[in-house]
Amino acid sequence: MESMPANMENISMPLKSDETVRKLILLFERMDDHLIGTAREAREALQHQADLSGPNHSPLPISEIDLRLIEAARQSYQTSQFDTDDMKNYFSALPDFESLWTNVSRMILRYFQATVRDRQGEWKVWLSRVEGAGKQTWQQAYKASYSLSNPGPDATIINAIIDKLRLVDILLDEIHSGLYREEDEKREHFSSELEDTILATIDINRRGGDLTAESIANFKAAIRVRRAAERARYSYSTSIDTGTGGSEVTSLYRRSSTANPATPNPRNHADNRTSNGDSGSMFSRPDKSAAQYNKYDPTTLALVVIITIAAAGLTAKGWNLSPHESGRPDDPDFWFLLQSSLMQLASMVPIIFCLLVTHSTSLQPRLWSWVFLGSGILFAVLAPLLYLAVPTEFSAMISFCGSVAQVLIVLEAMFLTGRVPTGGAMRSDMNKDR
């Protein structure tokens, strides 16, 4: 029998116990203290450097007051001796501190970029400690998930924890990529591990299977194989802007030939969503932003328009210089035109094949592709025929229209291959699967 994956060795099944919530919040404190302490050290070092450089320096991402504000949020449950409701309220309020935690990450990244060359070994030790704390945190969050899930269709606390862990993952990804080569083993993502483990638990309970560490590991491996296949075309990348323009977390899709199985894939998450009224026990909340799509490169589009206008002007000039007579089969221009039309038809064959075998795009862009394609074929066939029947300038005009249709086909193909969703996430609850 194969050995258990490392991230499942010490995991315990979910329990309904207030003690699991208390252990979770202590582990959260431990993980957060690593980040806050490093951010405070970074702030002091970079502030000293800024004071030496004079007044014209960029502001630091976070202040000491902000760091103390994050720490002060713990007092609500500490003063009540870890009352369960107060701890749950703390977790529910985590999204309110998202911008502060993003600035903590920016502060750490700026410090990392300034010191990694001279202190690479120290940063590797730091990364290892935070990785260990994060791993224990997500495993305890899974164990406490039953205690954190409120009765009814509510997964607010679980979602807030996953989102907070995802912010930590983004930071550690940046530091990991700065310390290790691309071909080195990729790090596990706490948010993905927790989310996928909950998904596995829900699925196994619904099927009536035995909920064991091995069955969970097998389920997670299966869904990640599907995600890896999906990301063979696009992979999800998230980064933190360390500049002064804001505290945004930037997410984008990029083409990739390799995929990190531990990286969440929003496109797959969308397949697992059910409405709040579904008989299943998975609940979704609205996406933070609707799916958006990349648009044409304005430079490319402008060049195409300018060249097309110039070609139209040349066609008009040729129209005026034409003898206004029909052509004959023994004219060399007829055979040149016939050869050009055949090559236009040949260039459309690959596009026809792609449209016939690919059905992953929506109906409207596919319909426009067929319209442009049909127009191009029609004009390419008519041009040599009209050369013999009517004055040759009409044939030249039809040939020009066929070329324009061909350009539109290429632009439409660029749109179809470049459209990439940039939003969406799966949200789940597990109350009915206890």
Domains of the chain by residue range: 6-294+422-433, 298-418
pLDDT of the residue at 38: 95
| 308 contact partners, CB below 8 Å, separation of at least 6 | 404, 407
pLDDT of the residue at 317: 82
Q: Is the dihedral of CA 364, 370, 373, 374 positive or negative?
A: negative
pLDDT of the residue at 126: 96
pLDDT of the residue at 99: 92
pLDDT of the residue at 137: 94
Q: pTM of the prediction?
A: 0.53
pLDDT of the residue at 297: 61
Residues of the chain with pLDDT under 50: 1-9, 152-153, 235-239, 244-296, 360, 418-434
Residues 281-307 as b or e (16 or more Cβ within 10 Å = b)? bbbbbebeeeeeeeeeeeeeeeebeee
The DSSP code sequence of 115-175 is: HTTT-HHHHHHHHHHHHHHHHHHHHHHHHTHHHHSPSSS--HHHHHHHHHHHHHHHHHHHH
pLDDT of the residue at 172: 94
What CA–CA distance (Å, rounded) separates 175 from 61? 17
| 277 contact partners, CB below 8 Å, separation of at least 6 | 153
What CA–CA distance (Å, rounded) separates 307 from 303? 6
pLDDT of the residue at 414: 67
pLDDT of the residue at 271: 40
The tens digit of pLDDT for each residue in 345-398 reads 888 888 777 777 665 455 666 777 788 888 888 988 988 888 888 888 888 888
